């Protein structure tokens, strides 16, 4: 008795699974940073550090912004980092738990990938004083003081149309003191690169 050969044809049917909607967010912030690069830091022009390792402290003070329905106006964060290696991120101890969670959600999409190698993400007191001539800011383990660099007519040196949206209205500074001391690293720099800039980014730009 011959056994019937049964051929089973499996037809793969493409099933479209709806994607979760991308989060709606927008941030306008003032950025101030000093790093260990000599002036002016090539990273801000799309290049690589001119001094390695590149050690930096960056403060981001959000003027207006939101992540979904969470208002982020007034939120400040301080990022201490060794570029492409590690970061420690402090968010002002005045933020709510919802704002803290919103900032964490924004790290991979709005804040230059500082979440990579992140060693800590905590609330902490952050101080900041910014004028046209001097910038100072500090957190638990880091502190920066830098003076504006002037050009013709004694006016601040400004650079326009840099490739990164976080570096618009760029004003050049030089560090007076740029320090960090923790169990991870310790550094102290002077005369190195510093800047202030305006950051204006949001989910609508990523969609486009």
Q: What is the pLDDT of residues 87-125, one digit of tens each?
A: 999 999 999 999 999 999 999 988 867 888 999 999 999
Cα–Cα distance measured from residue 191 to residue 68, given in angstroms and rounded to the nearest whole number: 41
Residue 21 lies in a domain: no
Number of domains in the chain: 1
Residue 12 lies in a domain: no
Residue 98 lies in a domain: yes
Which of 37, 44, 28 is closest to 158 using CA atoms? 44
Residue-averaged pLDDT of the chain:
89
Q: CB 9: neighbour CB atoms within 10 A?
A: 4
Residue 18 lies in a domain: no
Using pLDDT thresholds of 50, 70 and 90, give the confidence band for residue 5. very low
| Partners of residue 134 on adjacent β-strands | 147
Residue 187 lies in a domain: yes
Whole-Å CA distances, 106 to 65, 97, 201: 11, 14, 11
Per-residue pLDDT at 154: 95
Q: Provide the domain limits for residue 144.
A: 26-203
Residue 65 lies in a domain: yes
Residue 64 lies in a domain: yes
Through-space distance between the first and last CA atoms of the chain, rounded to whole angstroms: 67
Using pLDDT thresholds of 50, 70 and 90, give the confidence band for residue 16. low
Per-residue pLDDT tens digits for 33-51 = 999 999 999 988 888 999 8
Which of 45, 50, 49 is closest to 167 using CA atoms? 45
Residue 208 pLDDT greater than 60, yes or no = no
Per-residue pLDDT at 18: 54
- Token pair 């005369």 in the structure block, residue: 191
Residue 14 lies in a domain: no
Contact (Cβ atoms closer than 8 angstroms) between residue 135 and residue 127: no
């Amino acid at each position: 008795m011959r056994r019937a050969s049964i051929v089973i044809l499996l037809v793969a049917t493409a099933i479209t699974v709806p994607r979760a909607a991308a989060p709606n967010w927008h941030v306008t912030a003032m950025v101030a940073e000093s790093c260990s690069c000599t002036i002016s830091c090539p990273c801000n022009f799309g290049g690589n550090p001119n001094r390695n390792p590149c050690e930096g402290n960056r403060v981001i003070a959000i003027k207006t912004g939101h992540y979904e329905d969470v208002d982020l106006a007034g939120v400040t964060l301080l990022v201490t980092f060794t570029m492409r290696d590690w970061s420690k991120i402090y968010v002002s101890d005045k933020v709510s738990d919802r704002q803290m969670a919103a900032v964490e959600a924004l790290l991979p999409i709005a804040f230059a990938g500082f979440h990579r190698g992140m060693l800590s993400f905590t609330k902490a007191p952050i101080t900041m004083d910014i004028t046209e001539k001097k910038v100072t800011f500090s957190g638990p383990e880091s502190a920066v003081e830098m003076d504006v660099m002037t050009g013709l007519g004694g006016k601040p040196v400004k650079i326009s149309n840099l490739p990164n949206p976080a570096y618009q209205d760029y004003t050049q500074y030089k560090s007076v003191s740029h320090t960090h001391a923790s169990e991870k690293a310790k550094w102290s720099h002077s005369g190195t690169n510093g800047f202030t800039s305006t950051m204006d980014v949001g989910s609508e730009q990523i969609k486009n």
